[in-house]
């Protein structure tokens, strides 16, 4: 009877262990899953930031709409009655029924009484108030906002998102 030859086992070196560990596929899906999750979370944060900025823009637009309506309503009632009755000076237009000062004061009063809404709005100011010859009033506003979830980045860089809105209302 012959004895089977004894197999000589290779000596495990650190290099062969490293190669074996690299060839093993266990754990690679964890790295891939973590990478995909990071990308998904970044997309969600970006979408939330854009939505937050749009909500703030809508809030500023509502403020401008109300301010324009308030300015358009700041007419001298006696002048309106005289204008409608035909007692008007030559060249008098509807814009003469609303003075620039009364329109600006009406906008200022409206915004002072406007409820301070939360959100991430920073500076909000009136850029311009225009009274047109047709009797229309245009209000332009500018505001700064810091997007949600990533606002700490824009605050740290002192780089808010600037929002500009315009609203127009007819006096009567």
Position 1 pLDDT exceeds 60: no
pLDDT in tens, 54-73: 999 999 999 999 999 999 88
Q: Does the global pTM surpass 0.85?
A: no
Give the mean pLDDT of 83-97: 61
Position 161 pLDDT exceeds 80: yes
Q: Following DSSP, what letter does each residue of the chain receive, concatenated?
A: -PPPPPPPPPPPPHHHHHHHHHH--TTHHHHHHHHHHHHHHHHHHHHHHHHHHHHHHHHHHHHHHHHHHHHHT---HHHHHHHHHT---TT--GGGGS-HHHHHHHHHHHHHHS----TTEEEEEEEEEEE-TTSEEEEEEEEEE--TTTHHHHHHTT-PEEEEEEEEEE--
pLDDT at residue number 78: 64
Q: pLDDT: is 152 or 69 the higher one?
A: 69
pLDDT in tens, 113-123: 887 656 677 78
pLDDT in tens, 99-116: 788 888 889 999 888 876
pLDDT at residue number 32: 83
Which of 43-47, 63-67, 94-98 bottoms out in mean pLDDT, i.e. has the lowest?
94-98
pLDDT at residue number 31: 80
Mean pLDDT, the chain, whole residue set: 79
Q: How confident is the model at residue 167 (pLDDT cuts 50, 70, 90)?
A: very high
Position 93 pLDDT exceeds 60: no
Give the mean pLDDT of 128-155: 85
């Amino acid at each position: 009877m012959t004895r089977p030859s004894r197999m000589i086992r290779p000596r495990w070196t650190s290099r062969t262990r490293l190669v074996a560990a690299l060839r093993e596929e266990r754990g690679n899906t964890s790295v891939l899953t973590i990478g995909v999750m990071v990308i998904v979370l970044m997309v969600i944060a970006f979408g939330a930031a854009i939505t937050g900025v749009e909500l703030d823009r809508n809030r500023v637009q509502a403020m401008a709409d109300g301010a324009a309506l308030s300015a358009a309503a700041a007419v001298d009632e006696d002048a309106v009655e005289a204008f409608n009755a035909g007692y008007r000076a030559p060249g008098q237009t509807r814009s003469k029924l609303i003075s620039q000062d009364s329109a600006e004061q009406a906008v200022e009063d409206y915004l002072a009484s406007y409820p301070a809404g939360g959100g991430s709005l920073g500076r909000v100011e009136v850029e311009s108030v225009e009274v047109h010859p047709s009797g229309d009033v245009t209000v332009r506003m500018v505001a700064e906002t810091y997007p949600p979830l990533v606002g700490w980045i824009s605050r740290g860089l002192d780089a808010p998102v600037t929002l500009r809105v315009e609203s127009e209302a007819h006096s009567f």
